[in-house]
Amino acid sequence: MATYLCFIGEILRHQNDQESALRYMEDAKDLAHNASKAIQRHILQMLAYGRKKRLTMLSQKQQICSHFLVRE
């Protein structure tokens, strides 16, 4: 189940639905406590990548907003 949720999160991330993607990956992490160490590491890696992409996206939006605020 945890692997399936992580996979759905990855699909959502590719569709630029970062918030839903991270929710699915967080749920996968919470359910993975009985999974193998390899699956747990994979889920954590995907979650870390998703968080990094979200932070990058938020930073870019902030820079764009700052640019327009300075011009006015």
Chain segment 13-72, per-residue pLDDT in tens: 889 888 899 899 999 999 998 889 999 999 989 888 888 877 776 677 677 777 666 654
- Angle 64-56-25 from CA coordinates, rounded to 5°: 135
Rg of the chain in Å (alpha carbons): 15
Domain housing 19: 2-71
How many domains does one find in the chain? 1
Query: Whole-structure pTM over 0.95, yes or no?
Result: no
Structure tokens at 3: 């692997």
pLDDT in tens, 2-12: 889 999 998 99
